[in-house]
Each structure stands twice: as C-alpha cells, then as structure tokens.
Structure 1
Amino acid sequence: MKNNKSVFLILGVIMLLNACLVNGAYISSGKFPEGIMTVALAIMSFCMAYLSEHFAAKDERAQKIRERGVFVSYFWMLGFIIILMAIVNPYVGPLQLSGYHSLLLIASLYISVVFLNMVYYAKKY
C-alpha cells in the first residue's frame, strides 16, 4: 500500500500545480475560476494518499469511516446549498453565477467535503 500512497501524492501535486496555474489565470483576468474542479481533485488525491493505508484492510473500521464520511457530508451539502441559494439569489443576492458555475461549485465542494470528512473520521476512529 506504500506504492499507492506515493502515486496519490504525485497526482495530488500535479493537480495542485495545474489548479494554481489555470485558476490563477482566470482570477487574474477577473473571471470565475473554471478550474475549481482540479482543486477538488487535488484535495481528493491528498486525502486518498492518507486514507490508502486505512482502506487497505477491508474491515468494519474502513467501512465505518466510509459510511460516516458520506453520511455527514450529506448534511454539509444541505448547508452549502442553502447558503448558495441565499448568496446567489437573482433578485437580492450579491453574486451572479450561471447554472454551470453553481453546479461546478457544488460538485467541487461535495468532492472535497466527502474526502475531508473521511480523513477526519479516520483520525477519530
């Protein structure tokens, strides 16, 4: 499993550098960062590098980490969606986002939150 950890770390570094390059160009031109999904994938890779040794054994601890991480992420996402609906309200909201950008933001947040919750519960259990 040590080999998987190094692969995930290398992929995470490559995606993080790619995310910084792409999102930096969008932000410097004053546009919405279209490459925000690469940030989420970099977070996922780093989390999987940590979790690979925990998930190597197919025991009930690994199953509990997965179940609890996804279960709690559901409630985090409900909160994120409620906050986004308040902020991106087309009538009184301060932000104007297209549907594509809203879905991109929600998907990126969901990927990040699921894996960060799994890391939290791997440390807790």
Structure 2
Amino acid sequence: MKKNKTAFLILGVIMLINAFLVNWAYLSAGKFPEGLMTISITIMSFCMAYLTDHFAAKDERAQKIRERGVFVSYFWMLGIIIILMALVNPYVGPVHLSAYHLLLLIASMYISVVFLNMVYYARKY
C-alpha cells in the first residue's frame, strides 16, 4: 500500500504543477480557466493518497466511507447547481458562461466534492 500512496502523491504534485501552469496561462490571457479539470484531478490524487490506507481493508468501514461520501456529495451538488443556475441566468445573472464551461465547472466540482467528502468521512469514522 505504501507504493500506491507514494504514486498518488507524486501524481498529485505533477498535476498541481500542471494545473498551476495551464490555469495561469488562461487567466493571464483573460480567458475562462479551461484547466479546471486538472485542479480536480490534483485534489483527487491527494485525497486518494490519504484514502489508500483506509480503503486497503475491504471492510464495512471502507464501504461506509464510500457510500456516505457519494450520498452527501449528491446534496452538495444539488446546492452547487442551484447556485450556478442563479448566477448564470441569461436574463438577470451576473455571470455569462458557455454550456461547455458550465459543464466543465460542474464536472470538476463533482469530482472534487466526492473525494473531499470521502476524506471527511474517513477522518470522522
């Protein structure tokens, strides 16, 4: 298991550098940061590095962490989607995004929220 943890940490550091460089290029050009998925993959890698010890044993605790993390993430995503619907309203919303950018934002938020919830429940249980 130590190898998996090290591999996830190395992947997380590489993706963090990649996310910083890609998003910095978009932001410095004044565009929407299309490298949001690299940020969510970075979060996922670091979370998996933490969770490998918890998921190594195929017991009820690991199953409960997975189930609870995904279940609570559903409600978080409902809240995030409602907020995005209010912000991106074409008639009165202050933010104007294309459908691609909105889907990219939702997908990257979902990946991040699921794994961060799993880390939270791994520490709680």
RMSD: 0.3
**Residues of 2 paired with 1:26 and 1:93: CA distance?**
23
Q: Tell me what 1:77 maps to.
A: 77
Q: How does 1:38-77 map to 2 (within 5 A)?
A: 38-77=38-77
Q: Tell me what 2:27 maps to.
A: 27
Give unmatched runs, 5+ long, in structure 2.
none
Q: Tell me what 1:102 maps to.
A: 102
The alpha-carbon deviation at position 53 of structure 1 amounts to 0.4
Letter of the 1:67 partner, please give it: E
TM-score of the superposed pair, with normalisation by structure 2: 0.99
Q: C-alpha deviations, 1:24-82, integer Å up to 9, x for none?
A: 00001110000000000000000000000000000000000000000000000000000
Count of matched residue pairs = 125
Q: Percent identity?
A: 82
**Residues of 2 paired with 1:118 and 1:49: CA distance?**
12
TM-score of the superposed pair, with normalisation by structure 1: 0.99
Q: In structure 2, the residue corresponding to 1:97 is in which secondary structure?
A: coil
Structure 1 runs (4+) deviating above 3 angstroms are: none
Give unmatched runs, 5+ long, in structure 1.
none
Q: Tell me what 1:12 maps to.
A: 12
